[in-house]
A = this chain, B = another copy of it.
Amino acid sequence: MKAQRLWDEGTRKRLIEAAGEVFARRGFRAATIREICRRAGASVSAVNYHFRDKDGLYAAVFEYSHRWAVEKYPHDMGLEENATLEERLRAFIRSFLLRGLGDGFPAWHGKLIAQETADPSGVLSKVAQTAIRPMDEYLEGIVRELIRKANPSREPNESAVQLCRMNIVGQCIFQMHARRFMKIADPEELSPPQIVALADRICRFSLGGIRAIAVEGQS
């Protein structure tokens, strides 16, 4: 029997890493296979050989970065079981921003998602669902309980939950987009402590917003 090398650790990995960087920065459409292969030190046909086509490479990058990101920055950031709702929300926002700001590895996943929200590639029907839906539902649960806690007299309004959830995600994703938009070509990225500080302020802002929405309709 032939000892077929099931997982090439050379070109395949270099391609994924180069592609992650380029896809995160340019988006799926604007990224070119030639630039990716140039950075990976491979020929253009390598992507066809290892991933079939550009879509396959993109899907592999997304899955790779997703697996890596949730392992390093899980939604609850390793909170205790008895953590408060406020702590859970803060942990979630921290993980979301840590996965999308900064440079290199950790930031791919968030930047890819940010690119997808602005210009969906359409090749992530299945992968994106399994990656994004659980995240959404996790946040949704926290928000619903926060609204319930802020206004126990009635059941949380469903549209209010959705609004708060979208507002929180919108604030985070805008942070990922904003730096490129504000000033062109700004290589300086935030350090992890800066990202955590930013996350905590967004959490504070959002908690105030959630409480204001929770009491909506009451004089």
Contacts and interface: CB of A to CB of B under 8 A. Distances in A.
Interface of A: 27, 29-30, 114-120, 122, 160, 163-164, 166-167, 169-175, 177-178, 180-181, 184, 198, 201-202, 204-213, 216
Contact of A174 (B164, B173, B202, B210): B173
B201 A205 contact: no
A167 B205 contact: yes
A160 B119 CA distance: 30
Give the 4 A-B CB pairs with smallest separation, nearest first.
Answer: A208-B212, A170-B174, A118-B118, A205-B209
Contacts of A184: 120, 122
Nearest to A125: B184
Contacts of A171: 166-167, 170-171, 174
Contacts of A177: 117-118, 173
A120 B211 CA distance: 35
Given A167-B202, A170-B174, A206-B209, 14 more contacts: A29-B29, A30-B119, A116-B181, A117-B118, A117-B181, A118-B118, A120-B180, A160-B201, A163-B205, A167-B171, A170-B178, A208-B208, A208-B209, A208-B213
Nearest to A128: B181
Contact of A118 (B114, B208, B216): B114
Contacts of A198: 163
Nearest to A181: B117
Nearest to A159: B201
